[in-house]
Amino acid sequence: HILLALTKALENIDDVISIIRGARDVPTARADLMSKLEIDDVQANSILELRLQRLTALEISKVEEELKDVREKILSLEKILASEDLRRSIIKDELKELSKKYGDKRRTKISFREIKARTIADLVPEEDDVVILSEGSLLKRVSLEEYRAQRRGGKGIITSTRKEDSVKTILSCSSHDSIFMFTNTGRVLRTLAYEIEKKSRKSVGVTAASYVPLQEGEVVEQIMKAPESRESHLVILTRNGFIKRTPAEAILDMRSSGIRIIALEDDDEVVSVEAISREGNIVAISNSGKASVFTTSEVRPTGRTSRGVRAMKLKKGEYIITGFIAQDDEEVLTVSENGIGKRTPIAEFSVHHRGSSGILVFKKSERTGNLVKAIPVRPDDEIMIITRNEKTIRLKVSGIKSQARVTSGVKLIDTSDNDAVIEVSRIEPGEEAEEDAEK
């Protein structure tokens, strides 16, 4: 298009020069050129921008040659566009040329094996963690490695919740475990451990409602790992002294919206949940330091909506603080609010019938303070203790002296500065090395 205009200008060069010299301004020159040469404004502008050096005979020849080449190119491209066979032939030749230039042996291997579908769990590393639940239903997952084993009686290391909140319970688990949450309304909901946000021990948790559909006013009271067997049973103990046994498969097959697992009175709550696959002794312990011990066979399985039966006879002001299933080869570790603890062989806990007032297993004193928690342990286990001031200590059970049932125990954690123990949990054994407490 431009070349055609330049050719016309060169053929009428005297007229072009006369028009440009005689015009009073550029728009006038452009309009006169368009009229004289029968060209458009784009072509007229190209003539006005023409440099004088292109008026030599050599430059004129170059313009004519360039115009000839362009016309031939246009003709060739029009033929290609009009012929599918010609287009295919060109593509074939170009591919052959590429093959010569870049072709080499295949570097990847074609496999005909069946590819297994991957899930999110396949991409998540399996690690030892602890899940921490606060009184305000905040959850966080922390690597167990952040809590190194320490010497008995140490100050512990700082963990964190909100200032107005405190730790309710801790659960040792694998990152691939299913975590079941039991609420104040008697419902149970499920999530996966790796779905709970992993944080540092000093970070604040995330509300449980981010992981499960809690209803208005509903809070999480207890958490547990998935039962190892579908044939196992859940044993649920409440603050008001009721106990219930129900098939575990009820929660393994439940819908994502959760199910009701126990009928609770308005002033009652779940204090412990445990899965059992064989018979043993149920130990229910009250805030007064008494334990009711009876066999699991005394609690018959019931449906999901029942309240359960009486586990322990409670006096006014008494309530259940914890409960568990103990085997004959285990010991019972008791820990008080002032950080005093001991382990006692389960053989010293005489077995009675369900509903008894219990026997004294903890002697309260000014040194000990109130009993906070009791759990079943073995010598090669480890425990984690958390205090009101957000200090955490990880201890080897073997370092805690085994004593008689009515003794007070030894110092497990420093609770000075108006501190107090609020939770104790058994965790997976870790590294052998001990480490001094962090202030």
Domains delineated in the chain: 2-102 (1.10.268.10), 128-427 (2.120.10.90)
CB distance 409 to 361 below 8 Å = no
Give the pLDDT score at 102: 84
Q: Please measure the distance between the N-terminal and C-terminal CA atoms of the chain and give it in whole angstroms.
A: 84
Residue 340: pLDDT over 90: yes
Give the pLDDT score at 191: 94
Determine whether 72 is exposed, middle or buried from the number of CB atoms within 10 Å of its CB (0-12, 13-18, 19+): exposed
Cα(353)–Cα(343) distance, rounded to whole angstroms?
24
Q: Please state whether the predicted TM-score (pTM) of the whole model is above 0.75.
A: no
Cα distances (Å, whole numbers) of residue 162 to 130, 147, 159, 203: 18, 20, 11, 9
What are phi and psi for residue 359, nearest 5 degrees? -115, 155
8-state DSSP, 114: P
Of 100, 6, 138, 17, give the one whose Cα is nearest residue 62: 6
pLDDT 10s digits, 166-212 = 788 889 999 999 999 999 999 999 999 999 999 888 888 899 999 99
The pLDDT confidence band at residue 432, using thresholds 50, 70 and 90, is very low
**Given the structure tokens 């009686």, which residue do they identify?**
153
Radius of gyration of the chain (CA): 42
pLDDT 10s digits, 60-111 = 677 778 878 888 888 989 998 999 999 999 999 999 898 888 888 888 888 8
pLDDT 10s digits, 205-240 = 899 999 999 999 899 999 999 888 888 999 999 999
Cα(336)–Cα(374) distance, rounded to whole angstroms?
9
Structure tokens at 6: 């330049």
pLDDT 10s digits, 349-384 = 889 999 999 999 888 888 999 999 999 999 999 999
pLDDT over 70 percentage in the chain: 92
8-state DSSP, 227: P
8-state DSSP, 246: E
8-state DSSP, 85: H
